[in-house]
């Protein structure tokens, strides 16, 4: 135990402090309650005297000699009260010192602050963290996933209340993936408006998107079905793995094979289609034996949706208005048209040089994108991609026919959705 400070030093220091305080008044804005610096100093001297008297009595034994700071004759009870022979007197002096300190502070601010610090306060609301999500949700979209949920439910007949929960969870996940995609791809536009991260910044966008992934678990709890969380974790795992390959190929300038590209789509884009389809199956009041056919339909829809997006990015004037001119070329993303071009171009050195410029320059100029688009068209890539889309369209139409026969019910909603997406 460290020795107590020498009393003569303590008295001398306090005497000097009193002299200084008695001749110097603090400004009112520093005293907080309009009490002058002189009055405050005098009051503080009184407080100090009480505290010193209390300390002296607590650190001296009956013979007047200095004792250890841990008094053996004044143990603390389990309730925290001093129970020694001088306990009541000591506690009274401590209380007097506390009251004197309150008088110095004047307006009771000390007690209010202490009370606040020790009390439970309400949790913060989620308004701030959800603001980027609300902004993105306010932008006009086609609502393809809601339409797809309604169409599949034509067969599965899940109650409306439960389909509402599935739609909410799906839209949260879709919005979260869009916010992160735009940030990772440095995309300035989404649906013709500024991307979320260009308004709220990268940090708030990441925080909001991550919160949505977590909040979906709470939403799925409303389904009261143990399979829901399993479906969620499995499909989100597939989605993030697919996204990781998409980013890896872009950053490393490594062109994937068509097979690997399709595997990436099945995880990244098809995962969200499978997510709501599997939830609908889990919540359906009927037993179904055609889940593998529904999984295949979801994979085909995911592929069609992504490759259609690849094609529109380079060939559609409407898409240019929504996302900018040839945005995928700025991102350096290996879309199906670019993969085909890499494998069939007559000038790989030029194409490679443009891809390198994109990587190190953070994008391409308008003229560079025009030049690359000319080479993509010259390679026959857009015609090839359009042929793939037509093939997938026919395959999806055939798969819908099979499912209609399995369920014994036509699905005009799904056929209308497919027609809406036709290129």
pLDDT digit string, tens, across residues 170-192: 999 999 999 999 998 888 888 88
| Tokens, residue 67 | 């004792």
Give the H/E segment covering residue 172: helix 160-185
On the 0-12 / 13-18 / 19+ scale of CB atoms within 10 A, 311 is: buried
Residue 119 has pLDDT above 90, yes or no: no
Residue 100 has pLDDT above 80, yes or no: no
**In this predicted model, what pLDDT tens digit does every residue of 191-200 receive, in sequence order?**
889 999 999 9
The whole-number average pLDDT for the span 231-247 is: 95
Of 165, 166, 172, 194, the closest CA to residue 182 belongs to 194
Domains of the chain, by residue range, sit at 1-28+35-48+95-121, 127-421
**In this predicted model, what pLDDT tens digit does every residue of 156-174 receive, in sequence order?**
999 999 999 999 999 999 9
| pLDDT of the residue at 409 | 93
| pLDDT of the residue at 341 | 95
Among 69-78, 141-150, 245-254, 315-324, the minimum mean pLDDT is found in: 69-78
Task: Name the more confident of 414 and 65.
Answer: 414
281 vs 288: CA distance, rounded Å: 8
The whole-number average pLDDT for the span 53-81 is: 42
Give the CA distances from residue 268 to residues 52, 149, 181, 420, 423, in Å, rounded to whole numbers and listed in that order.
Answer: 71, 18, 11, 22, 22
Task: Name the more confident of 170 and 56.
Answer: 170
Give the H/E segment covering residue 377: helix 366-378
The upper half-sphere exposure of residue 212, i.e. CA atoms within 13 Å in the direction of its Cβ, equals: 27
The whole-number average pLDDT for the span 342-365 is: 85
Do the beta carbons of residue 296 and residue 318 sit within 8 Å?
no
Do the beta carbons of residue 180 and residue 206 sit within 8 Å?
yes
Task: Name the more confident of 33 and 148.
Answer: 148
Task: Name the more confident of 362 and 393.
Answer: 393
Give the pTM: 0.71
Class of CATH domain 127-421: mainly alpha
| pLDDT of the residue at 114 | 66
Residue 418 has pLDDT above 50, yes or no: yes
Cβ neighbors of 24 (< 8 A, separation 6 or more) are 37, 41
* Average pLDDT over the chain, rounded to an integer: 80
Q: Is residue 342 very low, low, confident or very high in pLDDT (cuts 50, 70, 90)?
A: very high
The whole-number average pLDDT for the span 28-46 is: 43
With pLDDT > 70 as the criterion, what percentage of the chain qualifies? 72
Q: Is residue 72 very low, low, confident or very high in pLDDT (cuts 50, 70, 90)?
A: very low
Alpha helices by DSSP H, 253-290: 258-268, 270-283
Q: Is residue 44 very low, low, confident or very high in pLDDT (cuts 50, 70, 90)?
A: very low
Residue 52 has pLDDT above 50, yes or no: no
Task: Name the more confident of 340 and 191.
Answer: 340
| pLDDT of the residue at 29 | 41
Task: Name the more confident of 391 and 109.
Answer: 391
């Amino acid at each position: 135990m460290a020795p107590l400070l020498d009393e003569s030093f303590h008295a001398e220091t306090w005497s000097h402090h009193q002299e200084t305080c008695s001749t110097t008044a603090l400004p009112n804005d520093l005293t907080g309650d309009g009490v002058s610096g002189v009055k405050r100093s005098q009051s503080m001297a009184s407080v100090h005297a009480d505290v010193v008297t209390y300390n002296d009595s607590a650190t001296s034994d009956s013979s007047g000699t200095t004792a250890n700071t841990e008094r053996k004759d004044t143990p603390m009870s389990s309730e925290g009260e001093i129970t020694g022979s001088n306990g009541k007197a000591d506690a009274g002096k401590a209380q007097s010192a506390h009251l004197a300190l309150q008088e110095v502070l004047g307006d009771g601010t000390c007690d209010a602050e202490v009370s606040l610090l020790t009390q439970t306060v309400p949790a913060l609301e989620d308004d701030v963290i959800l603001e980027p999500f609300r902004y993105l949700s306010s932008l006009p979209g086609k609502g393809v996933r809601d339409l797809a949920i309604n169409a599949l439910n034509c067969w599965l007949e899940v109650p409306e209340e439960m389909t509402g929960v599935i739609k909410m969870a799906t839209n949260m996940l879709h919005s979260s993936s869009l916010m992160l995609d735009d940030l990772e791809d440095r995309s300035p536009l989404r649906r013709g408006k500024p991307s979320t991260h260009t308004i709220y910044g990268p940090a708030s966008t990441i925080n909001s998107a991550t919160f949505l992934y977590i909040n979906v678990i709470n939403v799925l709890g409303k389904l009261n079905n143990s399979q829901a969380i399993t479906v969620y974790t499995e499909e989100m795992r597939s989605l993030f793995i697919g996204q990781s390959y998409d980013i890896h190929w872009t950053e490393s300038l490594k062109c994937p094979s068509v097979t690997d590209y399709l595997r990436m789509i099945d995880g990244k884009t098809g995962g969200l289609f499978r997510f709501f389809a599997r939830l609908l199956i889990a919540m359906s009041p009927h037993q179904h034996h055609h889940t593998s056919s529904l999984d295949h339909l979801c994979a085909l829809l995911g592929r069609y949706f992504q490759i259609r997006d690849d094609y529109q990015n380079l060939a559609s004037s409407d898409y240019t208005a929504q996302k900018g001119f040839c945005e995928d070329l700025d991102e350096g993303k290996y879309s199906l048209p670019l993969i085909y071009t890499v494998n069939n171009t007559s000038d790989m050195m030029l194409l490679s040089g443009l891809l390198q410029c994109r990587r190190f320059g953070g994008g391409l100029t308008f003229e560079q994108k025009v030049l690359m688009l000319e080479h993509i068209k010259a390679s026959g890539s857009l015609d090839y991609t359009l042929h793939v889309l037509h093939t997938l369209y026919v395959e999806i139409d055939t798969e819908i026919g099979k499912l209609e026969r399995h369920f014994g019910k036509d699905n005009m909603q799904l056929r209308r959705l497919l027609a809406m997406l036709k290129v």
